[in-house]
Homo-oligomer: A and B are copies of this chain.
Amino acid sequence: MTQPDPDDRHETHSAASTVADDLARLILGEMTPGTSLPSEAELAVRYDVSRLTIREAVKILEGRGLLEIARGRKAVVRAPDGSAFADFLTSVIRYDAKGLFDLIEVRLSLEVQSATLAARHSTRAGVAAIESALQGMREAAAGATDLATDAAELRFHSFDVGFHEAIALASGNRVLGYLFEAMSQPLREGFYISRRGHEQRGHTIQDTIDAHQRILDCIKDGNGRAAAEAMRFHLKDTERDIRAALSGRPLRAEPSQ
């Protein structure tokens, strides 16, 4: 809840911030992804500040995910993606364990909706992408039957994430895709915890694959309600895995990244 503050007497904002805000408005308003900004020298002349100030403004926008910067080339406007939100969510779940479950709760809601929408109006290509991810999970699991090695677990995980991401994309709702992308990084840690709990509860990898298969089947049938239910069941089960793995032992504090 921000205070009204209509007239920004708060103008002690630095020159770099001012330039950054102006450029942001320009970029969001009338530039399309792929367009390149004028050179630093040119911007310095236009805003009548030093090149350093322009650089700092551009860095702020890089941090906001609006620009892509490479050495020797002009800065180009970046297509939006969810990464800008990712470390924000990461910081949320770092502060306490409840944050992780809050995130899981939200994720459940969004993924159930994704599944519903994906079943309702997905394209053949969309279904193919989901199928391909599931096939990848199968192969990763076959390669190492118990996911004993880190490499196999990593491969399985990335296909698992890919499965859910493919559903989010197949929903046709881009905001869902961005949110999923933003959530997948902070949920990465949760994944490894959940696999541990999955085994503790006597389940196998095949169970996991079957659960995904059911979701896929419902989507292919175009049955939104069933797809939603299958997704909800799967995620609720994953949540139980995590709770089982965490019961009695605190969330480890050290970041794995």
Interface set of A (CB-CB < 8 Å, partner B): 1, 12-14, 16, 20, 24-25, 27-29, 32, 52, 55-56, 59-66, 69-71, 80, 82, 84-85, 87-92, 94-95, 99, 102-103, 105-106, 109-110, 113, 117, 162, 165, 173-176, 178-179, 182, 254-255, 257
Please report whether the interface of chain A is mostly helix, strand, loop or mixed according to DSSP: helix
> Which residue of chain B has its CB nearest to the CB of A172?
B102
Does A102 lie within 8 Å of B59, measured CB to CB? no
Determine the distance from Cα of A99 to Cα of B255 in the docked complex, in whole angstroms.
34
Contact of B85 with A88 in the complex, beta carbons under 8 Å: yes
Asked whether, in the complex, the Cβ of B85 is within 8 Å of the Cβ of A28, the reply is no
Asked if B59 and A63 sit within 8 Å, CB to CB, the answer is: yes
Q: Are A28 and B102 in contact (CB under 8 A)?
A: no
Residues on B with C-beta less than 8 A from A165 are 1
Kindly state the separation between the CA atoms of A64 and B67 in the bound complex, as whole angstroms: 12
A20 to B64, CA, bound (A): 13
Residues of B within 8 A of A56 (CB): 55-56, 59
Report, nearest first, the 10 A-B pairs whose CB atoms are least far apart: A63-B63, A60-B63, A59-B59, A63-B64, A85-B85, A102-B175, A102-B173, A109-B113, A29-B255, A106-B175
The answer for the CA separation of A173 and B173 in the assembled complex, in Å, is: 24
Q: Find out whether the CB atom of B91 lies under 8 angstroms from the CB atom of A28.
A: yes
Complex Cα distance, B1 from A165, in Å, reads 9
Q: Considering the chains assembled together, what is the distance between the CA atoms of A102 and B171 in angstroms?
A: 10
Q: Which of B63, B105, B173 contacts A61 (CB 8 A)?
A: B63
Q: Are A106 and B173 in contact (CB under 8 A)?
A: yes
